[in-house]
Amino acid sequence: MQQVFKDGMEIKRIKVISGKCSGCRLCMQICAICHYGEINPKKASLRIEAHFPQPGVYKPRVCTQCGKCMEVCPEGAIYRRDDGAYIVLVEKCTNCGVCIPVCKPGVIFQHRDLDHVIICDNCFKCTKLCNTGAITIHTRPVKESK
């Protein structure tokens, strides 16, 4: 399933500017709505980390596409798509959770309603609703990537 990347292709991911985030969580709401048809931020594949009372900053945590989840998945249930996203094959995923601790930003989740893990699939609906510019789409050509 491993995607072969070629020159000229583009990889997209979410870019974060923490200082701009105001913690509204519209991103988390739209994420769950689009993927699970319900309003439930706990089913979103990103999180807003609030650092209060000090220093007083919101840090969006999003998938950085490091690929560690795919590396450790014992079922081969995660593959990389040609836009850079790591996709969970829900029919293969056993919800074992091995991928969760290796995810550096901590954006792989389980939910009691679901029998598979939740991982960002690059739909970018979150970036489209962000009114502060804290999360945007970052595009880079494959050539420059490693």
Applying the rule CB under 8 A, the residues between 72 and 111 that interact with other proteins are 111
The only residue of 17, 22, 94, 104 in contact with other proteins, by rule CB under 8 A: 22
The only residue of 30, 78, 88, 135 in contact with other proteins, by rule CB under 8 A: 30
Residue whose CB is less far from other proteins, 28 or 70: 28
In the complex, what is the shortest distance from the CB of residue 118 to other proteins, in angstroms, rounded to a whole number? 12
Structure tokens at 37: 């048809």
Structure tokens at 42: 């706990």
If DSSP codes are grouped into helix, strand and coil, which group holds residue 24? Answer: coil
The C-alpha atoms of residue 70 and residue 83 are separated, in whole angstroms, by 15
Cα–chain center distance at 59: 14
Q: Which stretch binds other proteins (CB under 8 A): 9-17, 73-81, 127-135, 138-146?
A: 127-135
The only residue of 71, 75, 82, 113 in contact with other proteins, by rule CB under 8 A: 113
The C-alpha atoms of residue 1 and residue 76 are separated, in whole angstroms, by 9
Residues 6+ apart with CB under 8 A from 106: 47, 61
- Distance of CA 40 to CAs 3, 26, 31, 105, Å? 32, 11, 9, 20
In the complex, what is the shortest distance from the CB of residue 47 to other proteins, in angstroms, rounded to a whole number? 9
Applying the rule CB under 8 A, the residues between 36 and 75 that interact with other proteins are 36-43, 49-50, 52-58
Q: Is 115 in the site for other proteins (CB under 8 A)?
A: no
Binding residues for other proteins (CB under 8 A): 19, 22-26, 29-30, 32-33, 36-43, 49-50, 52-58, 111-113, 129, 131-132
